Structure 1
Amino acid sequence: MASEEPHHSPKSPPTPTSNDACTASRADEHSHGTCAKCGGPTAYSSAPQGFPGISPPPSYRPIRAPAINLSPESLRSQQKAIMLAPVPQPQKVVLISPPYDFKVPTKRINSPEDIKRFLSSDSAGNFLGFVAALSESTRGRKISDTCHQSAAVNSIVTILETLIRWVDEIPPAPQSSRYGNIAYRTWQERLLEQSESMMLAVLPSDFKSSTIEIIPYFMDSFGNSSRIDYGTGHETNFAAWLYCLARMGIVREEDYQALVSRVFVTYLELMRKLQLVYCLEPAGSHGVWGLDDYHFLPFIFGSAQLIDHKYMKPKSIHNEDILENFSDEYMYLSCITFIKKVKKGLFAEHSPLLDDISGVPHWKKVNSGLLKMYKAEVLEKVPIMQHFLFGWLINWE
């Protein structure tokens, strides 16, 4: 994610402390400055109009932009556009075949035009179809329900559990700042050192050469060590990493339920621990008008779990007894419980979008709306997708 260099202005002259400063002497008539109080001439020169040698800011807005609080009119307009969009449908992942051409993935998105090109590509459609298929695989199922767990799924869970253990082994450093504990960089350094061995534990022998392409997705799945932040772009990288494994046939359709209820649940546990222990800053937060400061996919998967539930409706998120007794089984309720834990005040004030969603009558409608919203609010946003990578498995077409 791009960041701008600070613009340093010349040191300002001392402010006059007497009324005499409002009147310029004849010796200072060459000065063209004016007094900010009376508008008359002053002995001090005017501030320069520009600073030569400083490059203009980039044409795109970096992901680390200030929180965006949309006006109600803009919000309604965006919501209407999302409502009219088609619902992303599950797709079978397109498997690769030899000869393989794995390559180091690079960034390709820099403008809204690039976003349009990406979203019109087969790669984008198949990736979004993969996310929709993961959602469908967990429809009406609890987290604890039995499911097929392949050796690859078990290896991925083991890797994530190792990363959770590292957080306990690397305590936060003492510092006064609220966000961004520097011990997180130590955790990331260890991840970089061991990422290749972790990938080799998952990959069959004929796919060892894919590490150059899939490790970057894996490394970007847990936040950024320079900014010490995390957001939906990093979460999308984790989904992209799983998608790459699916394209190689390492995880298959029969693994999808386990990818959600075993792998993604463990990933969510890891990320919450990283957020709390190292105080990761939200990346590209939309303020109160965002779905969540850090995550999006668990709301999609969690709403799918609750489709056609006999008793729990979207409004059930306001029932504390339901949250206490069922958040371990339903990802959506777990997300609501976590938000209420870390945010103070009325839920409708700090999470108005989730509060609005609770008024939807059926979980199926919530799920389809969130799938459309994920495409619109994550995959269509330049500040997020400018950091997305393209190689051979996820091709820039």
Structure 2
Amino acid sequence: MEPETQNHDHQSPETSPSPKCCAKCGGPTTFPPPPKSLYSDISPPPNYRPVRAPAINLPPNNHSQAIILAPVPQSQKVPTITAPFEFQTPSKKIQSPDDIRHFIDSDTGKNFLGFVVALSESIRGHKISDPCHESQTINTIVSILNELLQWAEEIPPLQQSARYGNLAYRTWHSRLTDNSESLMLRFLPNELQAAVIEIVPYFNDSFGNSSRIDYGTGHETNFASWLYCLARMGVIKEEDYHAVVSRVFAKYLELMRKLQLVYCLEPAGSHGVWGLDDYHFLPFIFGSSQLIDHKYMKPKSIHNQDILDNFADEYMYLSCIAFVKKVKKGLFAEHSPLLDDISGVPNWNKVNSGLLKMYKAEVLEKVPIMQHFLFGSLIRWE
């Protein structure tokens, strides 16, 4: 491509004269061609490039390949504790990447992740409304979450100018901490009632932080940890897992969305457009498992508004997409590029296995999240 000779109107900015500059205005008379790696003769450079280019659908770092190549986490049975019990107030142990590696490689870390995988497998191919075994314990936990929902109705948000962090949330959270011990005693059998000292901190941290008025995947992981503790004590059993997801976790998700909207909780440690969601991760795992081998709905179906409108109540993944579209404006590919990329995956089985690997890498292996993780007699620091 030959350099193009330019005619000047003498309005160009002044530059130092040179053999290749206009004698009158000092502007260049020739320009080098654009690099061939950027443009071709068929596709010339645009006259205008926006200052804020659309989000590029690539992860913000280079470890995505490591996530792809990692093995898919497998489900594990949760070992139940036996008497004599030694319940204790759980404490934080993780402070560094070495501590993270110690936890991930330990039997405790592997078993906790295996529990999450087992929950995911329990809901595979099932709608939320499908009948399942519902024990008295499950029904009691759902009634507790319904009570917490009612508190959000009774404690209205305050009028304030700040966009995030309505101070009324602290009133809601204070009521939670005042009542959490009695709430646990509603379903714990007599021989396990001493466990309140250990499981209450997990429960209280499952709904956000009252000082920062925020919520994120670390708090969500606390809820999973609380459920894991109940499984360790045998309070919930494997036959309850389906109901744990479709009844308990679905109600928990409803509650957290209510709190997010009513009290404008700040996203805790949000990845911005590079996260699945500002607040949640687990419902994408459980929701993708629900849709494995579905005859009609594919990952690309999230772009069909009719499908979202008609099936969001039955499939957790679709409800997550519908909620994101409700609270975020603009093009989906720009505000949620990662979810948009996932919609191009050919089947839900690959989506589910990829999300499990990503949960391990992006949540359980991140110090800013796991530095708040608690260890006691049920989740041991080995």
TM superposition score normalised by structure 1: 0.82
Task: Select 2:74's aligned residue among 71, 86, 89.
Answer: 89
Task: Select 1:320's aligned residue among 305, 319, 341.
Answer: 305
Seen in structure 2, the aligned counterparts of structure 1 residues 73 and 362 have a Cα distance that, compared at 3 Å, is closer
Tell me the SS of whatever aligns to 2:330: coil
Tell me the SS of whatever aligns to 1:110: coil
Give 1:163's aligned residue. Answer: 148
Give 2:161's aligned residue. Answer: 176
Q: Partner amino acid for 1:155?
A: T
- Per the TM alignment, residue 202 of structure 1 is displaced from its structure 2 partner at its CA by 1.5
Query: Which whole-Å CA distance do the structure 2 matches of 1:393 and 1:249 have between them?
Result: 11
Q: Partner amino acid for 1:162?
A: E
Give 2:184's aligned residue. Answer: 199
5+ long unaligned stretches in structure 2: 1-54
Kindly indicate whether the alpha-carbon contact (under 8 Å) linking 2:57 and 2:337 is maintained by their aligned counterparts in 1.
no
Question: Is residue 107 from structure 1 mapped to residue 107 from structure 2 by the alignment?
Answer: no
Give 1:78's aligned residue. Answer: 63
- Per the TM alignment, residue 78 of structure 1 is displaced from its structure 2 partner at its CA by 2.2
Give 2:45's aligned residue. Answer: none
Q: Deviation digits for residues 17-37 of structure 1, max 9, x if unmatched? A: xxxxxxxxxxxxxxxxxxxxx
Query: Which whole-Å CA distance do the structure 1 matches of 2:322 and 2:56 have between them?
Result: 27
Give 1:140's aligned residue. Answer: 125
Query: Which whole-Å CA distance do the structure 2 matches of 1:100 and 1:71 have between them?
Result: 53
Query: Which whole-Å CA distance do the structure 2 matches of 1:162 and 1:222 have between them?
Result: 14
5+ long unaligned stretches in structure 1: 1-69
Question: Is residue 129 from structure 1 mapped to residue 129 from structure 2 by the alignment?
Answer: no
Q: Deviation digits for residues 136-183 of structure 1, max 9, x if unmatched? A: 000000000000000110010000000000000000011000000000
Query: Which whole-Å CA distance do the structure 2 matches of 1:152 and 1:125 have between them?
Result: 26
- Per the TM alignment, residue 197 of structure 1 is displaced from its structure 2 partner at its CA by 0.5
Query: Which whole-Å CA distance do the structure 1 matches of 2:324 and 2:56 have between them?
Result: 23
Seen in structure 2, the aligned counterparts of structure 1 residues 286 and 250 have a Cα distance that, compared at 3 Å, is same
Aligned pairs (5 A) from 1:1-397: 75=60, 77-397=62-382
Tell me the SS of whatever aligns to 2:205: helix
- Per the TM alignment, residue 73 of structure 1 is displaced from its structure 2 partner at its CA by 6.8
Q: Where do 4+ consecutive residues of structure 1 move more than 4 Å?
A: 70-74
Query: Which whole-Å CA distance do the structure 1 matches of 2:153 and 2:207 have between them?
Result: 16
Give 2:4's aligned residue. Answer: none
Seen in structure 2, the aligned counterparts of structure 1 residues 170 and 74 have a Cα distance that, compared at 3 Å, is closer
Give 1:24's aligned residue. Answer: none
Kindly indicate whether the alpha-carbon contact (under 8 Å) linking 2:59 and 2:274 is maintained by their aligned counterparts in 1.
no
Give 1:19's aligned residue. Answer: none
Give 1:34's aligned residue. Answer: none
- Per the TM alignment, residue 98 of structure 1 is displaced from its structure 2 partner at its CA by 1.0
Q: Partner amino acid for 2:172?
A: W
Q: Work out the percentage of aligned pairs sharing the same amino acid.
A: 73
Query: Which whole-Å CA distance do the structure 2 matches of 1:80 and 1:323 have between them?
Result: 31
Q: Partner amino acid for 1:376?
A: A
Query: Which whole-Å CA distance do the structure 2 matches of 1:207 and 1:167 have between them?
Result: 30
- Per the TM alignment, residue 347 of structure 1 is displaced from its structure 2 partner at its CA by 0.3
Q: Partner amino acid for 1:177?
A: A
Tell me the SS of whatever aligns to 1:202: coil
Query: Which whole-Å CA distance do the structure 1 matches of 2:247 and 2:157 have between them?
Result: 27
Tell me the SS of whatever aligns to 1:225: coil
Q: Deviation digits for residues 88-142 of structure 1, max 9, x if unmatched? A: 1111001111111110000000000000001011111111000000000000000
Query: Which whole-Å CA distance do the structure 1 matches of 2:132 and 2:353 have between them?
Result: 24
Tell me the SS of whatever aligns to 1:201: coil
- Higher Cα Rg: structure 1 or 2? 2
- Per the TM alignment, residue 75 of structure 1 is displaced from its structure 2 partner at its CA by 3.6
Aligned residues: 328
- Per the TM alignment, residue 346 of structure 1 is displaced from its structure 2 partner at its CA by 0.2
Q: Partner amino acid for 2:232?
A: R
Seen in structure 2, the aligned counterparts of structure 1 residues 288 and 185 have a Cα distance that, compared at 3 Å, is same
Kindly indicate whether the alpha-carbon contact (under 8 Å) linking 2:57 and 2:341 is maintained by their aligned counterparts in 1.
no
Q: Partner amino acid for 1:118?
A: F
User: What CA RMSD, in Å, does the superposition of the two structures yield over aligned residues?
Assistant: 1.1
- Per the TM alignment, residue 232 of structure 1 is displaced from its structure 2 partner at its CA by 0.1
TM superposition score normalised by structure 2: 0.85
Tell me the SS of whatever aligns to 1:348: helix
Kindly indicate whether the alpha-carbon contact (under 8 Å) linking 2:57 and 2:338 is maintained by their aligned counterparts in 1.
no
